[in-house]
Amino acid sequence: MLENGSIPVETQPEPARTRPAWLSFTLEILQTVILALLLYFMIDSVLARVRVENVSMQPTLQSGNFILVNKLAYKLGEPHYGDVIIFHPPDGSVEDYIKRVIGLPGDHVEIRDGKVFINGNELYEPYIAAPPRYNYSGDVPEGHLFVLGDNRNRSSDSHEWGFVPLESVIGKALVVYWPLEEIKTLVAPTIVRAANGP
């Protein structure tokens, strides 16, 4: 009995309202799709997937290889000798190009006798298909890169059409991820030592 003399009445809790099973299932699917889309766009803002379409980078890259490209590489850092980069071509072509960085801003590039020299230092380039059969000499302007294909004699690159503006660079190629038997990282540390001297 309560203080005021009334007798407490036992009350039943209201039954919890449940969603229909189809609605719960639909909401879970919707949440999963939204999360997947968010992850996709977050990853897409950092990484690009590119399919190699030509032979200019053989033997390093084959036509049909799929590669991952770091789109933040040069927003957070600087290009280096030997980087394999993707860029919008200066000649206005629709398809993006993939080449190797050979000369940085301020470098003097010379190609003669089948060899490449940066500031007078010969590059050690075990990755090329064959020595270049052409000559070239020029200075890389500020804000630009000098690039060549690894398949030197079958590549349209800086020795033909000039320098790549840094703002045209999409990113740095990181790894070949397809086909599975050709998975590899894309690094060339020896070119850095060679270009800067012993």
Task: pLDDT tens for the chain, 198 residues: list them.
Answer: 556 555 555 555 555 567 778 888 888 888 888 887 777 777 666 788 889 988 999 999 999 999 999 999 898 899 999 999 999 988 777 889 999 999 999 999 999 999 999 999 999 888 999 999 999 999 999 999 999 999 999 999 999 999 999 999 999 999 999 998 999 988 755 554 444 544
- pTM of the complete model: 0.76
* CB-neighbour burial class of residue 13 (10 A; exposed 0-12, middle 13-18, buried 19+): exposed
Tokens 């590669």 identify what position?
67
Could you tell me which residues come within 8 angstroms of residue 127 by beta carbon, excluding any fewer than 6 positions away? 59, 60, 100, 150, 188
Query: Domain boundaries in the chain?
Result: 48-195
Q: Which of 24, 99, 156, 184 is catalytic?
A: 99
Q: Which of 56, 155, 158, 172 is catalytic?
A: 56
Fold of 48-195: Umud Fragment, subunit A (2.10.109)
SS3 state of residue 160: helix
Q: Distance between CA atoms of 121 and 85, rounded to whole angstroms? A: 22
Does the active-site annotation cover 99? yes
Does the active-site annotation cover 56? yes
Task: With beta carbons less than 8 A apart as the criterion, state whether 182 and 65 touch.
Answer: yes
Percent helix, strand and coil across the chain, each rounded to 5? 25, 30, 50
